[in-house]
Amino acid sequence: MTESGATDSLQEKRKRGLHLSRQARENINGYLFVLPWILSLLIFTAYPMIASFFFAMTQYNILNPPKWVGLTNFVTMFTNDPLYWTSVSNTTYYVFLSVPLGLAFGLFLAMLLNQGLRGIGFYRTAFYLPGLVPAVAGTLLWMVLLDPKLGLVNEFLGLFGIERLGWLRSAIWSKPGLILMSLWGGTGGSMLIFLASLKEIPQSLIEAAMIDGANAWQRFWNVTIPMISTTIFFNLVMGLIGSFQVFASAYVASGSGNTAGPLNSMLMYMLHLYRNAFRYFNMGYASAMALVMFIVLVILTLVLIRSSRAWVFYEATTRQ
Amino acid sequence: MTTISKPQYTSVVRLHRRKVIRKTISLSISYLILTMMAAIFVIPFLWLVVTSLKPINQVFTDPPIWIPHPILWSNYKDALTTPAFPFLKLLRNTLFYVIMTTIGTVISSSIVAYGFSRLRFQGRDVLFAITLSTMMLPGIVTLIPTYVLFKVLGWVGTYAPLIVPTFFGAAFNIFLLRQFMITIPYDLTDAALVDGATHFDILWRIMLPLIKPALLVIGVMNIMYTWNDFFGPLIYLSSQEQYPLVMGLYAFQMRFSIQWNLMMAASLATCFPLIALFFVAQRYFIEGITLTGLKGV
């Protein structure tokens, strides 16, 4: 009955000349369903990406129309803005310590938890809890913990005879302070990801290695690491992209002064960009900064993808 | 057992015993390390709680004071009722921001994911590949032109720039829901189509009920992200009246940067609702984090 109903309506449509092929109907329905996303891609991704090339070549303070200045912004950035290079070196320092440390630390905790121990739930929650604290609240808390005179961290280090460090009030120790914050907040997340990835490793592989006489280190290096290398790779790339854009902790910890921390030691790339865009309204210059960061990230990602062929093990491709 | 001669038997037992001992030692070491690590992660959080209950003169002391005397519960009353940190108003704004974006992203991402998973339109695979690649797009590159766009539209100073885009879908959510939808058997949806159901009926009546766990995952992840979002409100909101909690907390700190006990009380109050939600819906949080990190697999 329903069959005939469907054909009836089809015939009706045919009579009215509305007959469409199956593919045409799929096309219409399909594009209707994904229409919001196509609009989003055009308005919030494609347009801004193209426009950022234009803005980067202009002087623009929002109030007046953009003025074409060619490559001036880039020339200024590379030759005439010492703070730009400060922000580059601060960000590089931050990224190259916080990302590998976060991944290694997360993997270490995940391996400890992946031994079938009892009470995993408690530890998992303990490690992940800081990830729920918003960056602003977390930074305020660490400003208390890292107090140069009477902070808890210095008190703790004092137990080992380490003298009090200046942390966020010192040009040398402020970045390690920010890295400490990022490890506290971010390690739990990477631990959860690695834990899930470790659970996917077939037990038989590890047993086979054991029978072959592989010791714990060899099993880790030759079985575990290759089996989770896609996860490591993916989180490395996403971690780099994320922490190159670190902002909130540096913004809150450095306060509202003119320098971002002692000697601008917490002036991260994103913070310098933010100040140019929203404090001095140099939208053109900020756009140029964003573009350079984008290009650097694209190159870095491509290099990593290329290198991944050597060290990331794709199980599916070898199996075939 | 009788076939094993005595010396051999004892050596087997000894070997087994040695194995058990070794295993016990290694497990104890694991627990020891884990507990120390857990302490490192939990103590700062504990310090947040302890400091929030201290009189101001006990915040920085040598040696550190672990149990405040007296325990000042009134810090919470002081912090949450001061005009500098109007907690209820801030909470209302945060809830508005969180609820609107969650509705937006869940609805729009489901609709788009249905298109990608159930309709074979031409160009679908290319479009899907583009969608995947935008997940890696650093937000920095679209920031300025997007801001200018909203400025021109007159939306800066309102929640519109933070909420409206979520009604057009989000790459990761679309990807995740699509992955769940393609596991639903075609028989189920084809039967409904033959019965004359529209695709919208199928999405609403068949798909969404079946992928409820996935919807909860993206809902929870969005709540967490929006609750903690600082950058968006910082650049798009201009009046204190509109601030969500994290912005309110930041503004509070800018004005009263010495009253650390009250600041810690305000900080804890800011994260408390999210932590409560975490303990209720822990499963979805953990699944969400895990799925975000395993995309590459």
What number is the average pLDDT over the span B216-239?
95
pLDDT digit string, tens, across residues B273-290? 999 999 999 999 998 888
Average pLDDT over residues A189-216: 91
- Rounded to whole angstroms, the Cα distance separating A89 from A201 reads 39
Residue-level pLDDT at A49: 95
Cis peptide before B209 (omega within 30 of 0): no
The shortest C-alpha distance from B237 to chain A (Å) reads 12
Q: B128 with B24, same domain?
A: no
Count of CB pairs separated by less than 8 Å, A with B: 279
CA distance between the termini of chain B: 49
Shared-domain flag, residues B250 and B119: yes
Residue at B71 is within a domain: no
What are the C-alpha distances in Å from A223 to residues A315, B186, B211?
Answer: 12, 38, 35
Asked if the model's pLDDT at residue A16 lies above 70, the reply is no
Domain count, chain B: 2
Residues 111-170 of A with CB under 8 A from B: 112-113, 115, 117, 122-137, 140-142, 144-145, 147, 149-152, 155
A184 phi and psi, to 5 degrees?
A: -60, -45
Is B57 a domain residue? no
CB contact under 8 A, B127 and A38: yes
Q: B1 in a domain, yes or no? A: no
Domain assignment present for B204: yes
Residue A100 has pLDDT above 90, yes or no: yes
Quick check: is B65 in a domain?
no
**Helices first, then strands: H and E counts in chain B:** 15, 0
* Lowest-confidence region among A239-243, B10-14, B189-193, B291-295: B291-295
ipTM here: 0.90
Contact indicator for A251, A98 with CB cutoff of 8 Å: no
Per-residue confidence band for B296, with pLDDT thresholds at 50, 70 and 90: very low
Same domain, B146 and B195: yes
* pLDDT confidence tier of residue B256, bands split at 50, 70 and 90: confident
> Does B32 fall in a domain?
yes
How do residues A150-170 score in pLDDT, each as one tens digit? 999 999 999 999 999 999 999
A215: pLDDT strictly greater than 50: yes
pLDDT at A255: 82
Residue B68 lies in a domain: no
Scan for tokens 């801030």, then name that residue.
B90
User: B233: pLDDT confidence band, cut at 50, 70 and 90?
Assistant: very high
Contact B278 A43 (CB under 8 A): no
* Same domain (yes/no): B258, B183: yes
Nearest-Cα residue of chain B relative to residue A236: B293
Mean pLDDT, rounded, for A270-287 = 96
Asked whether the CA dihedral A305, A306, A312, A317 is positive or negative, the reply is positive
Check the CA dihedral B277-A133-A192-B179 and report its sign.
positive
Instruction: Label residue B7 by pLDDT band (50, 70, 90).
Output: low
Are B44 and B82 found together in one domain?
Answer: no
Hey, are the CB atoms on B194 and A252 less than 8 Å from each other?
Answer: no
Domain that holds residue B21: 6-52
Residue A5: predicted pLDDT: 47
Q: Are residues B81 and B144 in the same domain?
A: yes
B244 domain residue, yes or no: yes
Ordered structural domains, chain A, with CATH: 1-46 (no CATH), 72-116+185-319 (1.10.3720.10)
Residues B40, B166: one domain? Answer: no
Same-domain check for residues B37 and B130: no
State the residue for tokens 């596991």.
B183
Q: Is A8 on the interface with B (CB under 8 A)?
A: no
Q: Are residues B33 and B180 in the same domain?
A: no
Whether B188 and B249 map to the same domain: the answer is yes
In this structure, are B194 and B139 located in the same domain?
A: yes
pLDDT tens digits along A113-131 = 998 888 888 999 999 999 9
Answer yes or no: do B279 and B175 share one domain: yes
The CATH number linked to B151 is: 1.10.3720.10
Q: How confident is the model at residue A304 (pLDDT cuts 50, 70, 90)?
A: very high
Assign A4 a pLDDT band (cuts: 50, 70, 90).
very low
